[in-house]
Chains A and B, each alone.
Chain A
Amino acid sequence: MRRIGPLVVEPRPVASRSASVLARLVAIALALGLGALILEAGGYSARDSYRTMWDAAFANRDALAETLVAATPLIFTGLAVAFAARMLLWNIGAEGQLFLGAAAASWLAFSFPDAPRGLLLPAMVVAGAIGGAAWAAGPGVLRASLGVSEIVTTLMLNFVAILLVDYLVHGPWRDPESSGFPLSKPFTESAILPSFGDTRLHVGFLIALGAAVVVWALLRSTRFGYEVRVIGESQPAARYAGMPLRRNIVVVMLVSGGLAGIAGMSEVSGIVFRIQPDISAGFGYTGIIVATLGRFSAPGVVVAAVLFGALQVGGYALQTTEVPPSIVQVLQGAILFIAVGAEMLARYRVRWSPRRERDRAPFAEETP
C-alpha cells in the first residue's frame, strides 16, 4: 500500500476482468483527452486531427489495409517478446533476429530466383525462422549454461545483425544498377508474398495471425507450454517437479528468435521486395511495448499490434497535414504512456482515504 496525500494505492484483492477492461477504456479516453490538450495547445484543431488519424487508419478498406500492414511485423516481434517473457526471459534482440531472418530469407530468394513460388515462399519462411532462431541461440545457450543475462546479449547482438546486413547490401548483395545506394537486387516474382487486391496488405499478415494461434495453443495445451508457464511463475516449483530448466530456456529462446525472424522475412518479401538497411522501423523494440500492452498473451499481442499500427498510420497521415512531426510523436508517446499506466489501474486501485489509516491484512499472520 502506498499513500500519496489523501490517496491510497493498493493492490486489488482479485484482478477482475471487468476492471481491467474498464481500465483500458478509461485509459483510451484519458489518452485522447491529453492528446487533444497537446494539439490545442499547439494551435491545431483536435477534432480535425483526430478525424484525419481515424480516416487514415480505419475509415475504408485501403486505410484498414495500411493499418494491418503496419501491425504485421509488430505481431511477430510482440509474440517473440511475449513468449520469452512468459518464462521470464527478456528478449530485447527481436530487432537483430528480424534482420537475420530477413537476410536468411533473402539469401534463399537470391539463390533460387526461378524456383516455383509455392516452394520458395514456404522455404523462405522457414529460412527466416531459422535465421532468427540462430541469432537467439547464442544468448539462450549462454543464459542456460552460465547464467549470462540474455537482456545484455540479445541487445548487443542487434547492432551486430544490423551491421551484418549493412555489409551484405554494401558488398556482396549490392544491386549493380542501384547507382551507389545500399540496396540489393529486387526479388523475383516467385519470392514475393501475394497481396490482397490492389492494397499493400500481404499474406504475411495471415502468417502472423497463424503464429499467434500457434503460440496460444502451445502455451495452453501442450506439455512444453505447461512447463513454460510453471517455470515463468516459479522456478523452484519447476525444479521440484523435475522440469528441464536449461533445455527449456534454450528452446524458448529459439522459438522467440524464430518468430522475430519471420517478421524479417515477411517485410522483405511482402513490402520491400529486396533487402536494404531500413527494412525495420524499430519493430523489434516496439514489439517489447506491444507485448507489454498485450499482457504477454497471444490474443493481447494481436490487439495491441493493430492499435499500434493504427497509431502509426494515423500519425503519418497527420504529418501530411500542417501538424509538425514532433507534435505527432508527442501525441503517440502520450497515448502509449497512458495505456501502459492503465495497466497499473487494472491491478491496483486508488482510493480516497484522507487521514484514517487502514492497514492491509497480513498475508499469513504468525506463520514462520
Chain B
Amino acid sequence: MSDIPLVELRGIVKRFPGLVANDGVDLELHAGEVHALLGENGAGKTTLMNVLTGLYRPDEGAILVDGSPVSFRSPRNAIDAGIGMVHQHFRLVESLTVAENVLLGWHTPRLWLGRKAGIRQVAELAERYRLEVHPEARVWQLSVGEQQRVEILKALYRGARLLILDEPSAVLTPQEAEGLFDTVREMAARGEGIVVITHKLDEVQAVADRITVLRRGRNVGEATRGELDSRALARLMVGRDVSLEMTPSTAELGDVVLRVEQASARSDRGLPALVDVTLDVRAGQIFGIAGVAGNGQRELAEIVTGLRSLETGSVDVDGRRLRGASARGAIDAGVAHVPEDRLGSGLVAGLSTTDNAILKAYRRRPVARGPFVDGRAARALAERFLAAFEVSAVSVDAPVRLMSGGNLQRLLLARETAEQPKVIVAVHPTRGLDVGGTETVRRVLREQQEAGAAILLISEDLDEVLALADPVGVLHGGRLAGVLPREVCDVEELGLLMGGATP
C-alpha cells in the first residue's frame, strides 16, 4: 500500500442556509482498505460523500486524488476520477435488464448497440468480483440484494477505484448483509478503496479496516480495526453514554384484544401480499413483527387500521369485528395508528399543529360542536399535546412542515395515545429519528403497554423489535413465519426467517 492516499479530503466545510453540515472534515481513503464512516442521522456523512462525488461543491477545503488537488464540477468529473457511489435508494431502471442498466448512459454505441459484447463484459465483471447476478435478468425481477449488486457493478464498470456504499445493509437481511460484506472484503483485497457509510456498530466491527466517526459535521474520532470497542464507538458517535436497552416489561397480560384470523389481502398492485396470517395480541403485550420491507408489513398494518380490505379472514378488536375497509370503524373501535410515513399520512404537512392535533378528535366533543369545529377547544388540545410530549413548535398555528422528525413523531404519538387506545399499530416508529427521539418513542410504547394497550410493533430494526416486543414473529412473502417468545429469539434465527427459511 502506498503512502499517498487514493483520495484525501482536507478541511471540508459545507454550509446550508441555517446549518453547517460539514465543519472542517478531514478524511484519508486508501486503496485496498475498507473505511467505515460512522455517525448518527444528520451527522453530515451523506453531505460529505455528496461533496466527494461532485453533487455538492465544498464551501472550503480541498479534495485530493492521488495526491493532486481536483475540483469536481459535476458527478461526471468524480466518476472520471474513479469515484463511484451506491446510493441507499437504488437508481435503476426496473424494466431494463441488468446489463442494460450497467451500460446505460456510459457505453456509447456508434450505430449498433453491441448488446452481446455488453452482456459479456458485464458477465465477466460480475464473475471477477463474485457478484452473482444474471446480466439478462430484468431488474424488477431481482431481490433487493441482487439490485444492490447491480448498482455495485455499475460503479465498477465505470472504472471506480473508490466505491462508496451509503447505508448498504439497511434493506438487507442479516444473511444478505453478510454476503455483501464478503464482496466488500473481496473488492478491498483486489485493491479497491471502499467507504461504508453506516450507523450500525456491529457492521463497523465486522468489515472496517479503519473507522472515522463524525458528529455534528466534525471529526470526533478515528481508529483502526480493533482499537475501539462498540461501546466506545457509540459514545463517540452520540457524544454521551446511551442506553437504548429497555427494561423488560412488567405489564400483566390481559385478554386478547386484537385477533387477526387467517387474514389474506392483496397489495396495491393486486398481488397477494398477505397470506393466511393469524395472530393474537393481548392487553399489555407488544407483538413484534420483523422482516424485510415489502413482505406484507404494510398490508398487515392496513388491514388492522381499516385502510385495506381483507380478501379472506377477519380482524376483531375487543370482540368487535372490523367490517370492510373502514378507517373510521377502526378508529371508533379504539385502534391507534403510528404510520410508516408520518408526514405523508399521519400528519398533514401544510396544516397547523392545531389542525393536526384534531385529526381524530374533530368528530367528537369538545372539539366538535354540532357541525362546527370549536377553535378554542382545538387550540387547547394542541397546546396540551405540545406540553405533555415536550414538542417544540414555533406556534400552534405554524404548519407542521417546519418541525423536525423527532417533534413530528412526538406530536403524532401524543395524538394517537390521547384517548387510551385499545390497540396501537406502530410501523417503523423510530425510523429516521435521532437517539433522543428514539428513546421517547420506545418509552411511550412501553408506557402504553403498561397501561394495558395491545401493541402491534412492525419494524425493520431487529434490535428495536428485540428490545420491546414479546413475542416476535417474522413476515416473509406475506406469511407469518415462526412466532417465538422473546427469550428464545436470537438475531441469527430471526435473520434466517427473514430470508425465508422455514422454522
Contact = CB atoms under 8 A, between A and B. Distances in A.
A24 to B, nearest CB: 21
A244 B328 CA distance: 9
A13 B17 CA distance: 9
The CB with the most chain B CB atoms within 10 A, among A14, A242, A243, is that of A242
A364 B355 contact: no
Given A240-B339, A362-B46, A234 B327 contact: no
B431 interface: yes
Given A226-B373, A365-B46, A237 B362 contact: no
Contacts of B170: 368
Nearest to B89: A368
Contacts of A361: 16-19, 21
A237 B346 contact: yes
Nearest to B374: A221
Contact of B345 (A226, A240, A244, A359): A240
A239 B331 CA distance: 12
Contact of A241 (B19, B56, B327, B341): B327
Interface residues of B, number: 55
Contact of A234 (B17, B44, B59, B348): B348
Contacts of A224: 371
B337 A240 contact: yes
A230 B359 contact: yes
Contacts of B345: 234, 236-237, 239-240
Contact of B349 (A14, A234, A357): A234
Interface in B1-46: 14, 16-19, 21, 41-42, 44-46
Given A233-B350, A234-B344, A240-B307, A367 B355 contact: no
Interface residues of A, number: 31
A360 interface: yes
A223 B88 contact: no
Given A240-B307, A242-B326, A368-B432, A223 B363 contact: yes
B373 A362 contact: no
B41 A223 contact: no
Interface in B248-305: 305
A364 B17 CA distance: 14
A213 B45 CA distance: 52
Contacts of A240: 305, 307, 327, 337, 339, 345-346, 359
Contact of B362 (A13, A226, A362): A226
B147 to A, nearest CB: 15
Given A223-B363, A366-B41, A239 B431 contact: no
B375 interface: yes
A242 B41 contact: no
Nearest to B43: A366
Interface string B325-341: 01111110000010101
Interface string A217-247: 0000111111001100110110111111000
Contact of A365 (B21, B331, B371): B21
A348 to B, nearest CB: 14
Contact of A242 (B57, B328, B432): B328
Contacts, number: 111
Contacts of A13: 17-18
Nearest to B398: A14
Contact of A239 (B44, B307, B362): B307
A233 B359 CA distance: 13
Given A223-B371, A357-B57, A367-B432, A239 B349 contact: no
B41 A365 contact: yes
Given A237-B347, A240-B339, A362 B328 contact: no
A229 B327 contact: no
A237 B16 contact: no
A36 B458 CA distance: 65
Q: Is the interface of B mostly helix, strand, loop or mixed?
A: loop
A236 B351 contact: no
A365 B47 contact: yes
A236 B268 CA distance: 14
Nearest to A15: B399
A365 B42 contact: yes
A223 B362 contact: yes
A223 B328 contact: no
Contacts of A365: 21, 41-42, 44, 46-47
Given A237-B359, A241-B360, A365-B47, A221 B373 contact: yes
B287 to A, nearest CB: 21
Interface in A319-368: 357-362, 364-368
B372 interface: yes
Contact of A237 (B21, B47, B331, B344): B344
Nearest to B460: A368
Contact of B431 (A14, A230, A358, A368): A368
Contacts of A357: 57
Nearest to B337: A240
B368 A223 contact: yes
Contacts of B431: 367-368
B21 A230 contact: no
Contact of B88 (A222, A229, A360, A368): A368
B477 interface: no
Contact of A230 (B88, B337, B351, B363): B351
A108 to B, nearest CB: 29
A14 B398 CA distance: 10
Contacts of B16: 359-362
Contacts of A242: 306, 326-331
Contacts of A236: 341, 344-345
Contacts of A366: 41-42, 45-46, 88, 167, 432
A225 B372 CA distance: 9
A67 to B, nearest CB: 34
A225 B368 CA distance: 12
A358 to B, nearest CB: 8
Nearest to B55: A359
B39 to A, nearest CB: 9
A360 B50 CA distance: 12
Given A234-B349, A366-B45, 19 more contacts: A13-B17, A13-B18, A226-B373, A229-B351, A230-B348, A233-B348, A233-B350, A233-B351, A234-B344, A237-B348, A239-B345, A240-B337, A240-B345, A240-B346, A241-B327, A362-B47, A367-B41, A367-B431, A368-B88
Interface of A: 13-14, 221-226, 229-230, 233-234, 236-237, 239-244, 357-362, 364-368
6 contacts: A222-B373, A224-B371, A233-B348, A237-B359, A359-B14, A365-B46
Interface of B: 14, 16-19, 21, 41-42, 44-47, 55-57, 59, 88-89, 167, 170, 305-307, 326-331, 337, 339, 341, 344-351, 355, 358-360, 362-363, 368, 371-373, 375, 402, 405, 431-432
Closest 6 CB pairs of A and B: A242-B328, A361-B16, A367-B432, A242-B327, A236-B345, A240-B345
